[in-house]
């Protein structure tokens, strides 16, 4: 069976050099391992994703010399798949509805920090762990609030999960030299993560594990900023009986000041670099992929 790689950008801004690196690296792995290269559009956030950004993704990647299989999977067309996965989690009793606003959470944490005199623990992204306010809410109260139309998210119940599915969890990591090793995953450090968002009928974590499995992705190549999220993905794969791909988390492309490139910091986009006269060859070289393009078939 051929290895399957994917590049999975979100069309909520223009691609920058960091995305180009991730896309080229995926295509390069696919070429060297005679695998397939897929493109997936991660557009579950319908308020921030825009059609013009999606079009720019196709244009920029084609300009870079990449070829991907069609049709491209667009997550916004597959909410039913994520809902089915969510129902399986619900059926296992490992999720609960959460009605908290950001303010409710911030106040509860401030209160606990004052009481204990200690800083409240944070998840790997630096956000405070959810303090469990809705975890013990009686079903009757939750149903009543849902019927009343109150907005709510669904969270993983890590307390229940630690008993029901304590692990240990592991995945395989691979590198560019063809080495592989088993790595321990620690999903618990994410606390009661949101698995279905208030405003979106899924979440990044749920959609990504469902799609990687549905698309037969065997090798996930993505930035180090998503490395810790893999621990949660491995837990979800186990709960949903999905295979765990192998993972490679690459270093991030930094700007001259040593900061991570990000759409929010106005880093120059590929579109802008093109308009300024950059060539695809110059981009490959700059990212360490020269001198020839590395399209996969």
Under the rule (CB under 6 A), what is the footprint of ligand GLU? 8-10, 42, 208, 222, 226
CB of 108 to ligand GLU, least distance (A): 29
Phi/psi at 105 (5° precision): -70, -45
CB of 9 to ligand GLU, least distance (A): 5
The nearer residue to ligand GLU, 152 or 233, going by C-beta atoms, is 233
* Cβ count within 10 A of residue 154: 22
The nearer residue to ligand GLU, 9 or 131, going by C-beta atoms, is 9
| Cis bond before residue 146 (omega within 30° of 0) | no
* Distance (Å, whole) CA 54 – CA 34: 27
The nearer residue to ligand GLU, 9 or 128, going by C-beta atoms, is 9
CB of 167 to ligand GLU, least distance (A): 21
The nearer residue to ligand GLU, 96 or 204, going by C-beta atoms, is 204
The nearer residue to ligand GLU, 8 or 56, going by C-beta atoms, is 8
Strand order in the sheet with 153-156: 95-98, 153-156, 194-196
* Distance (Å, whole) CA 260 – CA 225: 10
CB of 166 to ligand GLU, least distance (A): 25
* Cβ count within 10 A of residue 187: 25
CB of 72 to ligand GLU, least distance (A): 13
In sequence order, the β-bridge partners of residue 154 are: 97, 196
CA 164, 205, 219 angle in degrees (round to 5)? 100
H/E run at residue 40:
strand 36-41
- Burial per residue of 163-183, b for 16 or more beta-carbon CB atoms within 10 angstroms, e otherwise: eeeeeebebebbeeeeeeeee
CB of 8 to ligand GLU, least distance (A): 4
The nearer residue to ligand GLU, 39 or 94, going by C-beta atoms, is 39
CB 123 within 8 A of CB 190: yes
CB of 190 to ligand GLU, least distance (A): 15
The nearer residue to ligand GLU, 52 or 115, going by C-beta atoms, is 52
């Amino acid at each position: 069976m051929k290895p399957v790689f994917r590049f999975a950008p979100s069309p909520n801004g223009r691609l920058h050099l960091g995305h180009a690196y991730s896309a080229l690296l995926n295509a390069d792995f696919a070429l060297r391992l005679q695998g397939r290269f897929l493109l997936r559009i991660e557009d579950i956030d319908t308020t921030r994703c825009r059609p013009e950004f999606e079009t720019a993704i196709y244009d920029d990647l084609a300009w870079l010399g990449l070829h991907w299989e069609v049709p491209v999977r667009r997550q916004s067309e597959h909410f039913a798949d994520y809902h089915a996965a969510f129902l399986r989690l619900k059926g296992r009793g490992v999720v609960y509805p959460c009605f908290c606003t950001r303010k409710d959470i911030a106040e509860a944490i401030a209160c606990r920090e004052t009481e204990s005199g200690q800083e409240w623990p944070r998840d790997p992204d630096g956000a405070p762990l959810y303090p469990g306010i809705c975890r013990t809410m009686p079903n009757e109260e939750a149903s009543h609030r849902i019927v009343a139309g109150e907005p709510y998210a669904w969270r993983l119940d890590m307390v229940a999960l630690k008993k029901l599915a304590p692990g240990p969890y592991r995945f395989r990591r691979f590198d560019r030299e063809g080495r592989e090793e088993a790595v321990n995953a620690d999903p618990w450090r994410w606390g009661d993560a949101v698995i279905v968002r208030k405003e979106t009928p899924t979440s990044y974590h749920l959609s990504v594990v469902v799609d990687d499995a549905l698309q037969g992705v065997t090798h996930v190549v993505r930035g180090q900023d998503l490395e810790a999220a893999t621990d949660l993905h491995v837990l979800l794969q186990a709960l949903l009986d999905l295979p765990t791909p192998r993972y490679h988390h690459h270093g991030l492309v930094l700007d001259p000041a040593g900061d991570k490139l990000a759409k929010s910091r106005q880093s120059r986009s590929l579109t802008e670099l093109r308009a300024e006269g950059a060539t695809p060859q110059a981009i490959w070289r700059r990212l360490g992929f020269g001198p020839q393009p590395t399209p996969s078939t």
